[in-house]
Amino acid sequence: KAGVTQTPRYLIKTRGQQVTLSCSPISGHRSVSWYQQTPGQGLQFLFEYFSETQRNKGNFPGRFSGRQFSNSRSEMNVSTLELGDSALYLCASSPGLVGPIQETQYFGPGTRLLVL
């Protein structure tokens, strides 16, 4: 199976702009999670989508939003970009099973966003 893919891989924006990142999960995976990775804060959970619904949400402001399509592909949008939004944004997919069933997330290569 093909792995998790993310586009674009690199992005440069200026403050105040908005950006949309895309993630295509592994075929058959219904859960997509997004993480922000920065040197200072490490990996922080943004949100998770499952079957087109947001199932979990981290502690990020409303400028960060996402959605999932019927084919499980997901997009993440950041509006009114700030310098502090510069980070590596990682997407991870998993089958989406919950409860006492083993789950593993498989990560994409990430999108590196630089805000100037």
Partner 1 sequence: AQTVTQSQPEMSVQEAETVTLSCTYDTSESDYYLFWYKQPPSRQMILVIRQEAYKQQNATENRFSVNFQKAAKSFSLKISDSQLGDAAMYFCAYRSSNTGNQFYFGTGTSLTVIP
Q: Is 25 one of the binding residues for partner 1 (CB under 8 A)?
A: no
User: Least distance (Å) from partner 1 to the CB of residue 75?
Assistant: 17
Tell which one of 20, 45, 60, 79 touches partner 1 (CB under 8 A). Answer: 45
Q: Is 62 one of the binding residues for partner 1 (CB under 8 A)?
A: no
User: Least distance (Å) from partner 1 to the CB of residue 103?
Assistant: 6
Here the tokens at position 113 are 């966003």
Find out whether 50 and 34 touch, Cβ atoms under 8 Å. no
Q: Is 33 one of the binding residues for partner 1 (CB under 8 A)?
A: yes
Give the interface size with partner 1 as a residue count (CB under 8 A).
28
Residue-wise burial string across 78-111, b where 16 or more C-beta atoms lie within 10 A, e elsewhere: beebeeebbbebbbbbbbbeeeeeeeebeebebb
Return the DSSP state at 84: G
Residue-wise burial string across 18-35, b where 16 or more C-beta atoms lie within 10 A, e elsewhere: ebebebbbbeebbbbbbb
Which of the stretches 16-24, 52-60, 63-71, 76-84 binds partner 1 when contact is defined by CB under 8 A? 52-60
Please report, as ranges, the residues that interact with partner 1 according to CB under 8 A: 31, 33, 35, 42-43, 45, 48, 50, 55-56, 58, 88, 90, 92, 94, 96, 98-100, 102-110
